[in-house]
Structure 1
Amino acid sequence: MAKYQLDAGVQGESFCFDYTHYLSASCKKRWSFIDAIYGVMPIFGIVTKTPPVHSHTHQEQLKALALQVLSTQVNDETNIIRLIALAEQQGIFRFEIRLPYALEKGQLGAIQHEFGDHLSLQQHDERLSIQLTTIPEIPAA
């Protein structure tokens, strides 16, 4: 995963992302060929798609990008990993995800494995609390 510095204006903010809403919106979405490619190979969507110009906050940008990248075609762990990576790119290091159900230990383990110690997960029923920390940059020799 990419390494980003904390943005003082964003690191103290916290918000809740309604995952169920995005799954519902994704079901109603008309898929283009490009959207299908992004759904199968999300790295293209994460790297090449840019947030809409009218989005002013990091949260708005995350929500707009999530509509482009989250997919009902993949499992929940993959979508949550994508969402956390997008949040990190937007400088959001603490947020909650409201889920339609509590995740199982194996699902939480898969998400934790993707980010390692860089991620702290706390689950409270159908709410998943996300806390990302920065990884210190190793100076070039």
Structure 2
Amino acid sequence: MAKHLLATAGQSERPCFDYTNYLSASCKKRWGFIDAIYGVMPIFGIVTKTPQEQTQTRAEQLEALALQVLSTQVNDETNVIRLIALAQQQGIQQFDIRLPYSLNTGQLGFIQQEFGEHLLLDQHDERLSIALPPLSATPRA
């Protein structure tokens, strides 16, 4: 894939994920049986299908995993939740998502409810900034 789906946001070193490019790449992807299972039940992909290359940064690993679990078959909130969960698993605590449109209050509330008060969401137009604590500091219900 010639076009990188991951970029840095402005002058900061925060990863910025272009959600539209992920969905576009997902539409063009040739799906095998295992990929279809991961797409329908992404928890299997999150747990079992990790990139083999140890030289990848956490952000690059997140990019590869996101291509496996983001889907055009689910709503945008679910995809954003999947991306946040993957980032948390990879130890990425702050990143941005560039969306094709701003999320409404209900969509943001749905995402916030999934992670609780420890997740910080800040939306500026089509850019959603996410900050979350390390995985070990996340309270479990």
TM-score norm. by structure 1 comes to 0.84
Residue identity matched to 1:66: A
After the TM superposition, which residues 67-106 of structure 1 pair with which residues of structure 2 at under 5 Å, given as runs? 67-106=67-106
CA shift for structure 1 position 13: 4.8
Give the Å deviation of 1:42: 1.1
Instruction: Please state whether the residue corresponding to 2:14 is helix, strand or coil.
Output: coil
* 3-state DSSP of counterpart to 1:74: coil
Aligned length: 127
Aligned ranges for residues 56-135 of structure 1 at < 5 Å?
A: 56-134=56-134
Q: Which has the higher contact order (CA 8 A, sep 6+)?
A: 1
Query: Could you tell me how far 1:137 is from its partner in structure 2?
Result: 7.5
* In structure 2, distance between residues paired with 1:137 and 1:130: 15
Structure 2 residues without counterparts, runs of 5 or longer: 1-11
**Structure 1 residue identity aligned to 2:126:** E
Contact 1:17 1:98 in 2 (8 A): yes
Query: Which shifted more, 113-122 or 43-52?
Result: 43-52
Structure-1 residue corresponding to 2:45: 45
Q: CA deviation at 1:52?
A: 3.5
Q: 1:47 to 1:110 in 2, by over 3 A?
A: same
* Alignment check: 8 A CA contact 1:55 1:61 kept: no
Please state whether the residue corresponding to 2:130 is helix, strand or coil.
Answer: strand
Partner of 2:4: none
Pairwise CA distance, 1:104: 1.1
In 2: Cα distance, 1:123 partner to 1:136 partner: 24
> How far apart, in 1, do the equivalents of 2:32 and 2:55 lie?
23
Q: Give the equivalent residue in structure 2 for 1:4.
A: none
Conserved 8 A contact 2:17-2:96: yes
Q: Which amino acid in 1 is paired with 2:18?
A: D
| Per-residue deviation, residues 102-140 of structure 1 (Å, max 9, x unmatched) | 0111111110000001200011000000000246478xx
3-state DSSP of counterpart to 2:116: helix
Q: CA deviation digits over 1:63-118, x for unaligned, max 9?
A: 01111111111111111000000001111000000000001111111100000012
Q: What is the identity, as a one-letter code, of the residue corresponding to 1:131?
A: A
Distance 2:91 2:54 in 1: 18
Question: Which position in structure 1 is the counterpart of 2:5?
Answer: none
